[in-house]
Every structure is written in C-alpha cells, then in structure tokens.
Structure 1
Amino acid sequence: MYNLPFFLELFEKKYTKIEWKRLTKSATNEHWTNKLRLECEEKSTLQNLAISNLGIGVTHPVWATVSSSVSDIRKAITKSRMLTGIYLLQAHRHRFNQAEVDPICPNCRTETEDLCHVLTICLLYMNIRIALYTPIKNFMLSIISETKWTTHFSNRDAICTLKVDCQNITNLGIIPNNPEILGKIENMSRIYCYEIHKKEIIHRDITLPWSTQLPIKTPITIFTTMCQLKLLQNFEMEQNEFPVRFGMDDPNTTWRHGKPDYTVVNNKYMREKSKNHQTGSLEKTVENLVKSWEMESTHKSDLKVVLTYIVTIVNP
C-alpha cells in the first residue's frame, strides 16, 4: 500500500534506523497526501481551496501565519470556514430546503448569496471592501504590473480566489511562491473576511427573522438595487479614498507630540461611515476640511498658523 521495499530487498540492502524511519515516513505521507487530494477534488465545497498544495504534515497559510492571540485565532477560524465551504450562506440553506428558503441575498436582493457574492459585490459590505480590499490590491500591484492585474483579476471569481486562498494565484504563476508574500496577503485577507463576518453577524442580530425580513422582489426593488450596483461600479475608484488632511507633509510644521499616524483612524472611518461623496464634490471638500481642522487644532503647536492655513484652503 505504501510502496515500501519488499522484505527480500531489506535483506539485500541494510537500512539504518534513521534511513528506515525517513523512508517509511516519506512513503506514508505521500500515500495519504495523494488520497487526501483525490478526495478533496470530489468535494464541491472545496472549490476555493488550493488542493495541489495540500499535504500531510504541511500547514496551510491560514494557520501558518496566525499568531496565538484569541482575536487572530477567531479570524483564522472564520477564514477556514470560508475556505472549506462550510460558511453558511443563503445558497447553502436553499440547497437543503429548496421549497422554503430563497437563495437570493437578503441584504441586497440582487443575486444568489454565495461566497463570491459576499466577498466581492454585496452592498451591505461596501464600506469594508473600500477600506480593506484596497491594501490587498495595492500590495498585489507592488508585485505585479497593472497590465497583469487587469488580465488576471478582471472578474469576480479571480478576486474571490485571491481573498480566500492566495496559493491558487501562486500555482498559476501570477505571483512568486514566496512565504513572506503569501503571508502578507493571507494576513490582509484574513482581516477582510473576518470584518465581513462581523458585519453579517451584527446585521443578522438587528434585523427581523428570515421569514419576515425579506422584501418582496418587485420590479421597483430590483431596479433600485441594480441602480445602486451600477453607481457602486462607476464610482468605486472615486469613493475609495481615505480622508485628505491638508498640511500633513509640510516640513515646517511644529507638532505638539510628533507627527500623528491616522492609519487606524482612517480604516475605522472608512468601515463605519454611512456616506460616500464623489471626488471633487463640495461634500468631499467639506469632509476633508473638517478632518484637516481636527488634525491642525489637535496636533499643531501654533494655532495662528493653523487658522491661517485653514483660511488659505477655503480662500485660495
């Protein structure tokens, strides 16, 4: 079964204890790895998993890159459920109860709620995508060219694959098989998936039961949601901007306690804000002006310079 040497061969070739242990371990791992991969290929729920990278004794990047903190382990558990196809969505519920359960996403009512829909297009998670998908894309663009990105990631399935198991991208030769690169992508995508999960839990807890919360799918609701999706697609790049705080890079600035870092604040703001103003609009200008005033008045030591700078922005 394990293709180990026949006993007559053992008499002819004298294996040392270490050689024999190494040989048996290698043969055993190879046998069960092949068996594992064959069985995984038959499971439709494992379509997002990089099956060719599975192996006995090989830790998947989801767990190889996670720390020992409770929060990180929770993120890894959620990511593993998505990776193995056991993250429960409407498409799964419908499969087991087709007569009573609607597979359409209860949040946006546009299409079947499967993993690809949740991670790439569902309107409920738009702010999370704006805040957390951009770092993943920017990191990928630092590795590959923009042309290569457009070629390989022009559809939702490819983007979903990148977020769920980036090893698939490595197997296609799009990015190098570098543990450091894979680890960074995995860390960012793990946070992304967990934030999606948290949003779904919060939304589910504050809404009505399934039987009463689903709106009637009338032509008006269909038209409204399709318009929202169209606006999202048209203005995604324009909305995908962190607040601009004027004067942050002025070399002559005297800071009270050192130059502030708004990375965490920006991410939280992008996730939780309820409005997305178009670039260049009056609303966007006012939004940036308020952020600039907060930064200037809180962190700069000379208030006169602050007031002069704000007036200059308003009346250039």
Structure 2
Amino acid sequence: MINEAQSKSTLARLNYENVKEGQIHNIWKNCGTNLYAITSASLKAKLATGTIYLQYHRAKFSNGHVSPICQLCTEGNEDILHFIVKCSTLQHIRSNFLHLTSEVLIENLRDQNIIQELMTSDEHLCQLVIDCSKYRFLNENAQERIKTLSRGLCHRLFQQRAILIEQ
C-alpha cells in the first residue's frame, strides 16, 4: 500500500507512513461526531488526496476550453497550493489561521528558525494545513490543535470560494 501511495503525485502531502490497514488516518482522528467537523475533515481529505476539483483540474480535462486561472483573484493557476496559501482574495480568512498556528508553534517549538521556515514557506504552510503529521518534530498536542484549526480553515476557504463564484 505504501509503495503504491509513493507513486501517486496527488498523495505527496499526505502522511501515509504510519498508516496501517484498518486504522483511521490522522485527518479523521480528532473530528469526532460533530457534523461541521466531519464536513470539514471531508474537505481536508479531498485536498490531501488530490480529489478536490479546482480550476486547474477543470482546465486539465477540458481540452483547452477552460482556463486554469483562479476565478477569485486571477493571479495564478488555481491548484491546491494557490487555493490554500496564495489566493489573495481568500487572505482575510487565512490570516486568522496563520496567527493561531504561529501561536501553537511558538508554544510547542523552541527553534525559532523552524517556526520561521514553517510560517514563511508556501509549501510548508500548505503541508501544515493538509497534514501536519508529516512533521514529526510536532508533538501530539501541537498536531491536534493545528489539525483542528486547519479543518476550520479548509471549510471556510471552500465556503467563501463557493459564495464568490456564485456571485
């Protein structure tokens, strides 16, 4: 199973190293039975597995009839990295998450260089949102808090995207 997962580019941000058959993946572990948390975890799982349908994917399968450019900000191709980290139209939603995540990292990590790298690198931020368990230096408390925050972020980003595209 792990060898097959390693060959899939869409699973690059998913931590599958500690997954055993029959076990619940980290994305689902702390969401409980709350409908909002389950919906949020579902969106996050789609991001983690590359099964979310963003503008980039529409363009890829449209034979050139659809543009991959983000419909919200028109500043780049709307892929997962753009949607989670770069879209300027969604920055107001993202900023609170970044602040709270930074606080969690400061409380749990002593190395300011690691904190700085995680908070300023688009790739690292995207990884924190999708599956922070890939960062083994994060303790369980930090991972649980970041997972909860990032579930809410994914849900709010998708909500806002849907609202803005409808208009």
Q: So what's the TM-score if we normalise by structure 2?
A: 0.92
The answer on whether the counterparts of 1:61 and 1:182 sit within 8 Å (CA) in structure 2 is no
1:114 is the counterpart of 2:75: no
**Residue 74 (str. 1) matches residue 35 (str. 2):** no
CA distance in 2, matches of 1:88, 1:119: 13
1:188-228 residue CA offsets vs partner (Å, 9 max, x unmatched): 1100111101101111222xxxxxxxxxxxxxxxxxxxxxx
Instruction: Please tell me whether residue 204 in structure 1 is matched to residue 165 in structure 2.
Output: yes
| RMSD between superposed Cα atoms in Å | 1.5
> Following the alignment from structure 1 to structure 2, what is the Cα–Cα distance between the partners of residues 164 and 97?
27
The equivalent of 1:46 in structure 2 is 11
Q: Report deviation, 1:147.
A: 2.1
Query: Unpaired segments of 5 or more residues in structure 1?
Result: 1-35, 207-316
**Which residue does 1:63 correspond to in 2?**
28
Are 2:123 and 1:162 equivalent residues in the alignment? no
Q: In 2, distance between residues paired with 1:190 and 1:157?
A: 18
For residues 67 and 57 of structure 1, the distance between their equivalents in structure 2, rounded to whole angstroms, comes to 18
The answer to whether the Cα contact below 8 Å between 1:105 and 1:113 also exists between their aligned partners in 2 is yes
| Structure showing greater relative contact order (alpha-carbon pairs closer than 8 Å, 6 or more residues apart) | 2
User: Aligned pair count?
Assistant: 166
Q: 1:185 aligns with which of 133, 146, 155?
A: 146
Amino acid at match of 2:58: R
- Supply the AA of the counterpart residue of 2:10: T
- For 1:129, the equivalent position in structure 2 comes to 94
The Cα shift of 1:54 comes to 2.1
User: How many percent identity over aligned positions?
Assistant: 24
SS in 1 for 2:135: helix
Matched residue, 2:114? 148
Letter in 1 for 2:133: Q
Cα distance change, pair 49–116 in 1 and its aligned pair in 2 (3 A): same
Specify the alignment match of 1:138 in structure 2. Answer: 103
Q: Report the Cα distance in structure 2 between the residues aligned to 1:193 and 1:74, rounded to whole angstroms.
A: 10
1:230-245 mapped onto 2 (5 Å cutoff) = none
Distance 1:191 1:84, change over 3 A: same
Q: Please identify the structure whose Cα radius of gyration is greater.
A: 1
Structure 2 unaligned segments of length 5 or more: list them: none
Question: Is 2:68 the partner of 1:103?
Answer: yes
Instruction: Quote the Cα distance in structure 2 between the aligned partners of 1:118 and 1:64.
Output: 24
Instruction: Tell me the CA shift for residue 148 of structure 1.
Output: 2.0
1:53–1:167: 8 Å Cα contact kept in structure 2? Answer: no
- 1:104-150 deviation line (CA, Å, top 9, x unaligned): 11111111111111111201211101222210121112112322212
**Conserved in 2, the CA contact under 8 Å of 1:164 and 1:189?**
yes
* TM-score of the aligned structures, taking structure 1 as reference length: 0.50
